[in-house]
Structure 1
Amino acid sequence: MKTERVADTDVRYRRSGDGDLAVVFVHGFLDDQYAWDRLIPQLTTPGIECVTLDLAGCGDRDTADGPYDYDRFADEVGAVVDALGKPFVIVGHSMGAAVAELVAVQRPDRVRGLMLVTPVPLAGVHLPDEMIERFRSLGGDADGQRGVRDQLSVAFPEAERDRLVATGMRLRPEVLRALADCWNTGHPVGERPSAYPGSVLIVRGEGDGFVTEDMVNNSIAPRFTAVTAVSVAEAGHWAHIEQAADVATHLDRLLAEARGNVGAPAANTSRPQGWTDAFAQQSAAAFGEAFTQDVVLEASILTRPVEGRDQVKKVMGAASVIYESLRFTQETVDGPRTYLEWQATAFGGLPIEGVTILTKNADGQILRAAIHHRPLGALLRFSAALRNRLAGEIDTDHFHQG
């Protein structure tokens, strides 16, 4: 572990590990860079360097002058990224997630992934005055800060909670008020779809009463084109502290994909071999390298399985075009199997939901995919649409005829 400083600034950052891919961690409201110390040792991806820092006014930089806003934070975190001089994945928690997105957008040539842990919307939360005042007035209020952490967490380790309360007590009241206004008001670019085109992993605690599932589904995930959202059981707003091992497992998967793109330009970093991002590209070729040569596709829209990489590519490419929107809402990994829940629309807004089960070999390629659609009416219509699109390429007896 070593600490370095960005030239001609008071911005210091800690570096641990040695690799050609940096993983930069941005802490959230009331926290400091040491909030990541439970998660980082749980990572197993080789060839990475982990980097943490304190935002202005927080942690070891509690005496830093303002402003305390997203643009200043993104400039300083970006300066750290630039000093590292290597491809990077950036991870942000809560308010820090918004900072992480801004940094990623500004460095498309080197960013390889973006992970948002219980993120607040970049556009802001817009709590009414009486509610945001509760957060603004936490400066110097140890009981209030402890109460907020207890209310929004499920399994906060007591020692770490008390340490972070002590950290939050170091924030000057004017800094704390400015930080609360920052994440509540948001940044103007958050009102538009994100300019970041690469892989995004959103992680929220199932017990988080602040960053709710509806907030993720309605205000955060739709802004990205290549997004996976997962929930962590027995965790609240500080999922990376409450269930560090589980969050590290999700981050390891993102890093494994990013490691394959260390030398690639940003335009190729949206997980081209991944199942979820292949849908965003809406082409048969995008699915190619994800499959083994003898892959088998089973689905409720099929009367019998489709076998072989070329045939399965055709079916999945055609299916991805039929969807008008597709969002993966949950992901669970159990050994070689990955379970994905998703929601989609087709045929002029018709809702379709389902579950996909992917079975992978030791090299990470998909050897079997099972896709379950609902409801029945949408399923039958989807099967008929596929039959028409693939006429002459896939035998029609693979599809429902009614």
Structure 2
Amino acid sequence: MTDAKALTRTERVADGDTRFRRHGSGGTALVFVHGFLDDQYVWDGVIDAMTAPGFEYVQLDLAGSGDRTSSRGPFDLTRFARDVGAVVEALDKSVVLVAQSMGTLVAELVAVDHGDRVRGLVLLSPVPLAGVHLPNETAEQFRSLGGNAEAQRAVRRQLSVSLPEAELDRLVAVGERIPAPVVRDLVTCWNEGDPRGNNASPYRGPVLVGRGAEDGFVTDEVITARVLPRFQWAATFAVDKAGHWAHVEAPAVVAARVETFLSTLPFDRPETAPGQGGSGWRNAFAGKTADDFAAAFAADIVLEASVLAIPVEGREKVKATMTQASKIYESLAFVREAAQGAMTYLEWEATAFGGMQIYGVTVLTKGGDGRINHVAIHHRPLGAALRFSLEMRERLAGTVDSSHFHTAE
């Protein structure tokens, strides 16, 4: 690890057997949650590749895995989420949860229960929270992996592309030590899932979803159909020449993606008013309600955009316009932010209309009271912008005059 992370201390949650390791220091902690048959050290490569200042790195083993193979049950999602949640509370700071495979189910449940602390979720090769629901014969093959090193090696080879041989050996040794009854319980966790996964996620914060491009278990179809629709705002990425363990196969690539995501998050920065910087705008998009937008806007706000033929003026009309606009996006991620004086620049990526990619830059100008009094939104490509304008014209009929929008002609 780098010098900034070299100092490691191990702490224990009060009244429990959950221990966690802390590296470095910062106002926000990245809490890493491992997957099926793995341990906390599976994240070492990613952590070592990260260079963003101001973050602490936290690792722990789930009960029954790693250094906790002697833990008593139950070994289920409720227990795992309680243990990780206890670590989050013990840290007593904002956190971002970074998880892989089975660990993503745990991370989402923790985010729901500790939403006041969780600033973002990174879900790598995410298993749907509702479970995979493999046929019993197939699931039994996974249940029988306990203590069978050769079978575990075969599964890891099948689901990876460029897993280094030394890492493969280490992971097989880690998985082999997990007691066979625990392995069976772990399969139940990710195969049956949690019934809350059948509905939209109560977690409303930013989410980054990634996968190895050649992962044969968590496919692009699984993510598109069963993961992304559950989150309000989610950005995605794929790692080329990687499978189910992209964080081990290409740790530097995963680290870079995580750091880009971190640069977009609204961490605990002091604000003099609800609309200062980009936080009020991002929070309004997360809420998608008129009241959320109204909290960030000045009374005399002016909205200009490439989807508008003429500007929209005044808080009531602008908040109605932005509320409807936010509901058109299927996903939206703020990927970069910069500020100069009273102006904030937000670069974003979104999808709408069944997966159509839309890119843009939003320029916010705030007045002396800290509220946003001018917004300029630039969309691309042109075809997407025109379609967006037509949709807005229809949705806002009777609220905002149609002359503000482009026409089909």
TM tier relative to shorter chain: 0.7 to 0.9
Q: Which residue of 2 aligns with 1:77?
A: 84
Greater displacement, 50-59 / 36-45: 36-45
Contact 1:329 1:343 in 2 (8 A): no
Distance in 1 (alpha carbons) for counterparts of 2:241 and 2:283: 26
| Pair 1:2 & 2:5 matched | no
Q: Which residue of 2 aligns with 1:347?
A: none
SS at match of 2:85: helix
> 1:266-281 alignment to 2 at 5 Å?
272=279, 278=285, 281=288
Contact 1:19 1:47 in 2 (8 A): yes
SS at match of 2:263: helix
| Pair 1:114 & 2:121 matched | yes
Q: Which residue of 1 aligns with 2:367?
A: none
Q: Which residue of 2 aligns with 1:200?
A: 207
Q: Which residue of 1 aligns with 2:379?
A: 370
Residue number among 50, 56, 59 corresponding to 1:49 in the alignment: 56
Counterpart AA for 2:351:
W
After TM superposition, give the deviation of residue 278 of structure 1 in Å.
2.2
Distance in 2 (alpha carbons) for counterparts of 1:163 and 1:274: 46
Q: Which residue of 1 aligns with 2:268?
A: 261
After TM superposition, give the deviation of residue 257 of structure 1 in Å.
3.6
After TM superposition, give the deviation of residue 56 of structure 1 in Å.
0.8
After TM superposition, give the deviation of residue 80 of structure 1 in Å.
1.4
After TM superposition, give the deviation of residue 130 of structure 1 in Å.
1.1
Distance in 2 (alpha carbons) for counterparts of 1:95 and 1:285: 36
After TM superposition, give the deviation of residue 143 of structure 1 in Å.
2.2
Contact 2:47 2:57 in 1 (8 A): yes
Q: Which residue of 2 aligns with 1:153?
A: 160
Q: 1:96 to 1:134 in 2, by over 3 A?
A: same
Counterpart AA for 1:114:
L
Q: 1:179 to 1:391 in 2, by over 3 A?
A: closer
| Pair 1:251 & 2:258 matched | yes
After TM superposition, give the deviation of residue 167 of structure 1 in Å.
0.7
Distance in 2 (alpha carbons) for counterparts of 1:52 and 1:60: 12
Contact 2:64 2:72 in 1 (8 A): yes
Distance in 2 (alpha carbons) for counterparts of 1:80 and 1:168: 23
Q: Which residue of 2 aligns with 1:210?
A: 217
Counterpart AA for 1:246:
V
Residue number among 324, 329, 348 corresponding to 1:326 in the alignment: 329
Counterpart AA for 1:354:
Q
SS at match of 1:121: coil
Counterpart AA for 1:76:
D
SS at match of 2:45: coil
Distance in 2 (alpha carbons) for counterparts of 1:149 and 1:230: 22
Greater displacement, 104-113 / 248-257: 248-257
Contact 1:22 1:86 in 2 (8 A): yes
SS at match of 2:119: strand
Contact 1:319 1:386 in 2 (8 A): no
After TM superposition, give the deviation of residue 185 of structure 1 in Å.
0.9
Q: Which residue of 2 aligns with 1:105?
A: 112
Q: Which runs of no fewer than 5 residues in structure 2 stay unpaired?
A: 1-7, 337-344, 365-374
Counterpart AA for 1:103:
V
**CA deviation profile, 1:108-130 (whole Å, cap 9, x unmatched):** 22221111111111111111111
SS at match of 1:83: helix
Contact 2:32 2:58 in 1 (8 A): yes
Counterpart AA for 1:372:
P
Q: Which residue of 1 aligns with 2:31?
A: 24
SS at match of 1:125: coil
| Pair 1:385 & 2:394 matched | yes
Contact 1:318 1:386 in 2 (8 A): no
Greater displacement, 218-227 / 132-141: 218-227
Q: What TM-score does the superposition give when structure 1 sets the normalisation length?
A: 0.79
Residue number among 363, 384, 407 corresponding to 1:400 in the alignment: 407
SS at match of 1:8: coil
Q: Which residue of 2 aligns with 1:12?
A: 19
Counterpart AA for 1:371:
R
Q: 1:375 to 1:43 in 2, by over 3 A?
A: closer
Distance in 2 (alpha carbons) for counterparts of 1:236 and 1:358: 33
Counterpart AA for 2:352:
Q
Q: 1:332 to 1:272 in 2, by over 3 A?
A: closer
After TM superposition, give the deviation of residue 398 of structure 1 in Å.
6.2
After TM superposition, give the deviation of residue 46 of structure 1 in Å.
1.6
Q: Which residue of 2 aligns with 1:227?
A: 234
Q: Which residue of 2 aligns with 1:91?
A: 98
**CA deviation profile, 1:262-290 (whole Å, cap 9, x unmatched):** 679xx99xx8467697275255948979x
Distance in 2 (alpha carbons) for counterparts of 1:211 and 1:105: 23
Identity of aligned residues (%): 41
Q: Which residue of 1 aligns with 2:46?
A: 39
Contact 1:352 1:373 in 2 (8 A): no
Contact 1:343 1:353 in 2 (8 A): yes
Distance in 2 (alpha carbons) for counterparts of 1:200 and 1:376: 25
Aligned residues: 377
**CA deviation profile, 1:202-231 (whole Å, cap 9, x unmatched):** 112221111122221222222222322322
Distance in 2 (alpha carbons) for counterparts of 1:65 and 1:111: 28
Distance in 2 (alpha carbons) for counterparts of 1:263 and 1:112: 15
**CA deviation profile, 1:30-76 (whole Å, cap 9, x unmatched):** 10000000001222322111100001110111121221100111111
Distance in 2 (alpha carbons) for counterparts of 1:375 and 1:199: 24
